[in-house]
Structures are given as C-alpha cells and as structure tokens.
Amino acid sequence: MRFLIKNFGSIFISLLLAVLIWVAAVREQNPPIENDYPQSIPIEVIAPPTGLVNTSPAPESVRLRLIAPQSSWANLTPTKIKATLDLSNVHQGVDDVPVQVVVSDPLVEIVDQQPRTASVNIEALRTISMPIEVEVLDSPPLGYTARTPAAEPAEVEITGPVSQVDQVARAVADIFIRNSKETVQATRDVVAKDQNDRTVRGVTISPPTVQLTIPIEQRFGYKDVSVRVNVEGQVAPGYRVSNISVEPPAITVVGNPKGLSQIAGLVETVPINLDQATESIVRTVPLNLPDGVTTVISEQEQNGPGGVQVTVEIAPIEDAVTLERPITQQGIDPDYWWRAAPDRAEVFLSGPLSQLQSLRASDVEVLVDLFDLKPGVHILQPTVFKPDGVRLDAILPDTIEITIGRTVQRPVSQTGLGPQYTWKASPNRVNVMLSADSSANSVNPAEIGVTVDLSELEPGFYQLKPVVTAPAGVVVDSITPDTVNVTINPKAVITATDRVSPVRTPTPRAK
C-alpha cells in the first residue's frame, strides 16, 4: 500500500502515456476523416397536436458534414442516420423548430447540417359546412330549357387552417350540357372558391365529389323529328346504292300548332335524282316542311327554309373470281435453273362486276423474286400482280418452295457409230441441270459429258435420250431438252470408172 501511495504519480503518468500511445496507434491505423455525406437525409415530420396544423412548407431533407474514422465511413448508410422535425409540442404562431439528426454509430460526429432549423406557422384547424353551387357552363340546344340543377349531397364540409377556411366563399361544382336534349347526370369535383372566384388551396373537402342532375325539357312550339332522304331514279347498270346518310339525322322544328300537327315524327327532303349515277352524291338538300314550320337552325341563322347534308354512296356491284396461275420468277442468275413446288397457285380476287367480267387470266401474274438467291431450297411468299381496282382476297398456297440449282451447257457427243457413217444432232448442245448442293457449285463443266449411243444404228432419223456422265458426288437433276434429234447418213464414196479425155483447145486460123 505504501508502495502504491509512494509511486502513485509515476504509475499515473505511465498509464496516461500508455493510453496516449494507444490512441495515437489507433488514429494512425484508422484516421478520422471529415467530409460531406453524399446523400440527403429525408426529414420525418412529427405532426402538431390535435386541432393544429402547420401551414408553412417543411424542408424535405437535410445535408450533413461529418467527421468519423475511416472504418465508420465505409459502413455508414442512410439507414443509420435519422432526421426529425418534431412539432408535437409547438403552439400557435410562427416559430423556428430545430431539425434533430441522430447517427447510430457513436464514432460519427456531426460537424454541420443544413438546415439546422425549420420555420413553421402553426394555425388552428376549422371545419365549416357549405351548400353546393352548381355552375352550368353552357346552354341547352335551341328549343330546350334547363331546369334548376340539383346536387347530391347538397352540402360539403370544408376543413383547413383558419386563415384558409375564412377565405372560402362558395363550394362550386361545374357541368356542361353539351347539346343534350335529355336530363344530364354526372359526377363532378367540388372546388372551394373565394369572393373573387379564385380557387382556395390548402383545404380538404368532404366528400370531394357530388352527383349533379340537370333536367332538360323541350319548349312549347318545338318538336324533334327524324329526317328521311327522298331519292328517285336508277343508278347506272353495274352500280348500286351502298348507303344513304343524312346530317343531322334528326332536327328540331318550330312553328304553329297546325303546322306541327302535320308532321308525324319525320320530315322528308326534296327528291334527289339518281339517274345513271356512277359516283357518290354529297349535297345540301332542302326539307319539305308544312307552311308555318321551319327548322331551329334556319330560324337561328335567319336564312329561311333550312336544309340538311345528304350523302348517297354509290358503289360498283362486286363479284369474286378464282384463277389458277403459273408461278413465274424474276431476277434469277443466268447460270442457274429453278423449279417451283407447286408450280401453280390459286388466286382469289374480288372487285367490280364489270371489271371482273373483262378480266383475262393473263392480266394476273404470280411472281417470286429470286434476285441474289444462291442454289438451294427456299420458301418464298409470292407477289400477285393484278389490274388496279381488283382486290386480292387470298392466294393458295401462300408460300412456294423454290429449288435453285446450277446450269451447265454441254455439247452432245456420240459413241458406237460405225466409221462408214456420219451423224448430226439437233440441237447439238443441251443444258444440264445440276442438283442444288455444294458439290455442284464447284464442278468443272468440262467434267460433265452428254452422249448418245449410236451403236448398231443404220442410216436414218432417230429421237434419242442423251446420257449424262458427271464426277462422283455430283447429281444431275435433269437436262433440257431431254431428247435430241439424230440424223445418220452414209459417207459419200467417189469411184473412178471412166478415163477422162484431155480437152484440146483449137488453134486459131491465121487471117
């Protein structure tokens, strides 16, 4: 004990030096770093007491400058930092409330934060009841009147800060009639407005929407009637009337009771002549109205008896036809041959009867495009070329298998002909169609022979089928033509049987 008391100072100094050395070693290995935290921290706002509300905008986030050991920076995430704006103990009025930031890591120190405080304006909440005012933004069509609109519910509650609620003068819901001739019903939002008809913000309306009803009734002396188009005459042969329309299809007329009583729900137009028509007719046509009756539109425009726009659609009488057409091609390389499977297609066409009656099979072509295609098997969709005005309904089949191969032209040779004969082939060259594979593409044409066998044949005329020889691995698809005409003749022989006497030239006489 005496030893401890006597040497207390030395022991204390030794411990202090040891702690300082340890702190220095730790700071050397894990030095503190001061820096701005790269992310903004969202601020959680705790609401004010019941019956109060903050009318000032609160900051949404806070920026921080921190100092912390290097190891703490590496593990510091936004979830370890909490920012709070606590309004639970505030009172009415304007005040600056501190933004409280807490870091869960005790080694992290907040050097600075922005903002440090938030300015708030605390007001009392108020709720008032107010009747709905319905604003009709347009008028019913002429000849109709709108009765007093109604809202369901008839009142709404408006809640908000006293300063905002005191500005509310009306609760308004607006609606359009949009030329409706029947009762209008619609659900509309309710808007709070002040005395200057400006929208009041910052208040809550309950319920936010109401159901509006506006009764629409027809005035005395007005009547709604349908319009019927009156046509006469016949369109040109080969044509038909495909549709008749009128705009507007129904109109409102106004007049005296006697005139209105003569209209039994519809009015007709003056006759429209369709004689020999081949095109649609669009024109404004007057109406046949009793004396003392006019249309509402004409009354409004003060142009006398009104009319309607009539459209008579005239179209050719149509039919359908099916043609079987061969498959043709374009664009194939001159050194290639091609074959279509199937080689014909059924083409289903429709159009005006008169045009189909004069349609020739040669007017329709089914074509496949072989441009830039190499030997092989290809599945292609054909294109149908047809006269204008004729519609293509379908083609069967809609895809064609096209085989493309190499073509080699070779002379026709013979074997087995006796030496006493001569021969001639017509034609003396044929086209050899090689199969569509890679070996055919690389073969030398000189390696392919075309031969007719003339063994034991006597002089005469023969139609023979040549035999084609090719290198191993090369398959011959066909030849064109597949037969040649061969003529065999005996060789001409000259035999000397008579001596030929010399020809003497007479000596001219002297004069």
**Do 183 and 216 contact (CB within 8 A), yes or no?**
yes
Q: How far apart are CA 377 and CA 511, in angstroms?
A: 95
CATH entry 2.60.40.10 includes domain 318-496: no
To which residue do tokens 């106004």 refer?
A: 254
Q: What is the predicted pLDDT for the residue at 498? A: 47
Quick one: 69 exposed, middle or buried, by C-beta within 10 A (0-12, 13-18, 19+)? middle
Phi, psi of 32 (to 5 degrees): -75, 145
Question: Residue 165 is inside which H or E element, if any?
Answer: helix 162-165
**H helices then E strands: how many in the chain?**
8, 41
DSSP H or E stretch at residue 192: strand 191-193
DSSP string, 4-37: HHHTHHHHHHHHHHHHHHHHHHHHHHS-EEEEE-
With beta carbons less than 8 A apart as the criterion, state whether 287 and 305 touch. yes
3-state SS class at 437: coil
Which region holds residue 464: left if phi is over 0, alpha if psi is between -120 and 50, else beta? beta
Separation of alpha carbons 366 and 398, rounded Å: 11
The CATH homologous superfamily for domain 222-316 is YbbR-like domain (2.170.120.40)
Reading the chain (511 residues) residue by residue, the pLDDT tens digits are 565 566 666 666 767 776 666 555 555 556 788 899 989 999 999 999 988 988 888 899 999 999 988 888 888 888 889 999 999 888 888 989 999 999 988 888 898 999 999 999 999 999 999 999 999 998 888 788 889 999 999 999 999 999 899 999 999 999 999 888 889 999 999 999 999 999 999 899 999 999 999 998 887 888 888 888 999 999 888 888 989 999 988 888 888 888 888 887 788 899 999 999 989 999 999 988 888 888 876 444 444 455 889 999 998 888 899 999 999 999 999 889 999 999 999 999 999 888 888 899 999 999 999 999 988 889 999 999 999 989 999 999 899 999 998 899 999 999 999 888 999 999 999 999 988 775 677 788 898 999 999 998 989 999 999 999 988 888 888 899 999 999 999 987 655 554 444 544 444 444 3
Q: Where are the domains of the chain?
A: 1-27, 32-115, 125-218, 222-316, 318-496
125-218 shares the fold of 32-115: yes
State how far Cα 342 lies from the chain centre: 35
Topology given in CATH for the domain delimited by 125-218 = RNA Polymerase Alpha Subunit; Chain A, domain 2 (2.170.120)
- CATH of range 32-115; options 2.40.110.10, 3.90.1580.10, 3.10.50.40, 2.170.120.30: 2.170.120.30
